[in-house]
């Protein structure tokens, strides 16, 4: 026998073992159910948080081990260091697959004499990279001290890159930390610092720190030019979401920072400061996409025109493809991949930059494996070719055979990876249009107003 109270049956003590008036009301049962559901969700969130932080720690440990091994491998023997000869160092480095611009440029840019960059000596890199070289060259210990100080700085930059990626996508941070490209190219040049600045700017952008983001983007661009590929699509996103006034504020902040970095050196010694632009404009077509075993297009003006046309078309198409709510990071990654594909020069470490853009665009994780295989092959392929070429007459026949038969296969793998990775990412987005990516744009700009 039962009674009813609202929609809840009031059962007798035969069912509950207690008087019917002690049966809890429906609001209590609903609240109890909600409490236990929330408790379960909180438990799962805590478990997910622990797993995510463990992943952050393990990724940081992997990067640290990569850098320790790489630093140990790249230090030349005392006889090579004592020679202070760029040729002696290059011959040793090519033969041992241990080349690093950090050693080579220490001798090549008068860093040992602490000559002021862009004023007393020209440097073919943007100003912030040249200043970084100059500052670290003051560390005691000569070339070895310079290398170790730079290695620590680049290791810290790699950890910062890993953390910035982890904040919006732990899975892609894990992929970034495990790729052996960090070990192979992390100490080849100063690229990791440029990537760290770019990801820092993106982090500020995600927090709606608009002007500070623009300032750090200026630092990134004038450390290494590649972050400039983010800017057109960020501008489109800002105009669509925040309006022209916000964009103008960011452009002003970017311009002010760019002038502060460049104008003093440009005024003091225009020729030294402008070497970066003149050097890259006059740089010849390397043995890459346009000049190889299968076809030869060595005309610099022709290649520059073709590259500019293709990249410009890609900018327009991807800007339109973004749509009102499109991802600026996806568009930036695709255009950057196209730039690497058609540019007249492709230094092997550029593929490390592509992994950073891939992480921001949240490409499928298999693309990191593909880029890693291509990047490792490219490293061995390029240094082997340099070693055979620099070794002199006894190996010229071998160098010629390698250059015609083996080297082009490495190039083919490199460009296949650069093409397949963005195409695979775009195909995945087309197949799963409702898949939610971690946003690289603040969902509520008011939570962190710019100052």
Q: What is the pLDDT of residue 272?
A: 92
Q: Look up residue 205 and give its DSSP letter.
A: H
At residue 117, the 3 state secondary structure works out as strand
For 74, other C-beta atoms within 10 Å of its C-beta total 19
Strands 8-11 and 2-5: what pairing? antiparallel
- How far apart CA 107 and CA 121 sit, in angstroms, is 12
- How far apart CA 89 and CA 190 sit, in angstroms, is 19
Q: What is the pLDDT of residue 392?
A: 67
Inter-residue contact 170 to 56 (CB < 8 Å): yes
For 287, other C-beta atoms within 10 Å of its C-beta total 18
Q: What is the pLDDT of residues 182-239, one digit of tens each?
A: 999 999 999 999 999 999 999 999 999 999 999 999 999 999 999 999 999 999 989 9
Q: What is the pLDDT of residue 6?
A: 44
End-to-end, the C-alpha distance of the chain in Å comes to 69
Side-chain-facing half-sphere of 187: CA atoms under 13 Å = 28
Q: What is the pLDDT of residue 110?
A: 74
**CA geometry: angle 272, 90, 391, nearest 5 deg:** 130
- How far apart CA 367 and CA 301 sit, in angstroms, is 33
Helices (H), 242-293: 244-268, 270-273, 275-282
pLDDT less than 50: residues of the chain: 1-18, 21-23, 28-29, 32, 35-39, 41-43, 444-448
Q: What is the pLDDT of residue 13?
A: 44
Q: What is the pLDDT of residue 403?
A: 86
At residue 436, the 3 state secondary structure works out as coil
Could you tell me which residues are beta bridge partners of residue 11? Answer: 2
Q: What is the pLDDT of residue 194?
A: 97
- How far apart CA 268 and CA 265 sit, in angstroms, is 5
Which residue, 210, 227, 218, 202, is CA-closest to 259? Answer: 218
Burial 132-151 (b: 16+ CB within 10 A, else e): bbbebbeeeeebbebbbbbb
Write out the two tokens for 269. Answer: 């010694």
At residue 131, the 3 state secondary structure works out as helix
Q: What is the pLDDT of residue 436?
A: 59
Write out the two tokens for 100. Answer: 């690093």
Write out the two tokens for 58. Answer: 């393990």
- How far apart CA 344 and CA 242 sit, in angstroms, is 37
Q: Is 240 left (phi over 0), alpha (psi -120 to 50) or beta?
A: alpha
Q: What is the pLDDT of residue 36?
A: 46
Which residue is it, tokens 């210990």?
Answer: 141
- How far apart CA 119 and CA 355 sit, in angstroms, is 34
Q: Look up residue 77 and give its DSSP letter.
A: P
Which residue, 298, 274, 300, 273, is CA-closest to 287? Answer: 298
Domain ranges of the chain: 2-25+59-447
Q: What is the pLDDT of residue 208?
A: 92
Helices (H), 207-230: 210-221
Q: What is the pLDDT of residue 287?
A: 72
How far, CA to CA in Å, does 56 sit from each of 39, 53, 171?
25, 5, 10
79 burial class (0-12, 13-18, 19+ CB within 10 angstroms)?
exposed
87 burial class (0-12, 13-18, 19+ CB within 10 angstroms)?
exposed
User: 138: which residues sit within 8 A by CB, 6+ positions away?
Assistant: 114
Q: What is the pLDDT of residues 141-190, one digit of tens each?
A: 989 999 999 999 999 999 999 999 999 999 999 999 999 999 999 999 99
Q: Model-level pTM?
A: 0.86
């Amino acid at each position: 026998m039962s009674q009813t109270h609202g929609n809840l049956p009031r059962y007798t003590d035969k069912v509950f073992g207690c008087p019917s008036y002690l049966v809890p009301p429906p609001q209590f049962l609903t609240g109890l159910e909600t409490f236990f559901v929330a408790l379960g969700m909180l438990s799962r969130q805590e478990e997910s948080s622990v797993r995510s932080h463990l992943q952050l720690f393990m990724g940081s440990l992997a990067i640290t081990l990569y850098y320790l091994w790489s630093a140990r491998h790249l230090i030349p023997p005392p006889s090579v260091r004592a020679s202070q000869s760029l040729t002696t160092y290059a011959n040793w480095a090519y033969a041992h697959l241990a080349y690093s611009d950090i050693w080579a440029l220490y001798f090549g840019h008068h860093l040992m004499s602490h000559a002021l960059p862009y004023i007393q000596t020209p440097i073919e890199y943007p100003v912030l990279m040249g200043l970084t070289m100059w500052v670290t060259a003051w560390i005691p210990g000569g070339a070895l001290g310079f290398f170790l100080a730079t290695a620590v700085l680049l290791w810290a930059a790699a950890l910062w890159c890993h953390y910035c990626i982890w904040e919006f996508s732990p899975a892609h941070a894990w992929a970034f930390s495990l790729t052996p490209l960090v070990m192979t190219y992390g100490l080849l040049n100063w690229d990791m610092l440029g990537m760290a600045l770019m990801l820092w700017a993106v982090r500020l952008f995600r927090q709606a720190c608009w002007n500070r983001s623009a300032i750090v983007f200026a630092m990134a661009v004038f450390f290494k030019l590649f972050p400039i590929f983010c800017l057109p699509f960020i501008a489109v996103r800002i105009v669509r979401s925040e309006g022209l006034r916000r964009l103008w504020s960011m452009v002003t902040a970017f311009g002010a920072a760019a002038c502060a970095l460049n104008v003093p050196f440009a005024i003091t010694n225009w020729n030294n400061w402008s070497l970066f632009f003149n050097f890259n404009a006059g740089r010849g077509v390397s043995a890459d996409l346009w000049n190889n075993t299968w076809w030869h297009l060595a005309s610099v003006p022709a290649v520059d025109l073709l590259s500019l046309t293709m990249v410009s078309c890609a900018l327009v198409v991807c800007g339109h493809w973004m749509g009102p709510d499109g991802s600026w990071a996806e568009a930036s990654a695709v255009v950057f991949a196209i730039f690497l594909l058609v540019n007249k020069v492709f230094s092997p470490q550029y593929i490390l930059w592509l992994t950073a853009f891939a992480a921001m665009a949240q490409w499928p994780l298999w693309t990191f494996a593909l880029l890693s295989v291509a990047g490792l092959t490219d490293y061995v392929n390029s240094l082997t070719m340099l070693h055979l070429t620099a070794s002199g007459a006894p190996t010229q026949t071998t160098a010629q055979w390698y250059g015609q038969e083996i080297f082009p296969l490495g190039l083919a793998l490199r460009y296949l990876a650069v093409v397949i990775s963005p195409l695979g990412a775009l195909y995945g987005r087309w197949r799963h249009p409702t898949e939610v990516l971690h946003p690289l744009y603040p969902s509520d700009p008011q939570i962190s107003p710019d100052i």
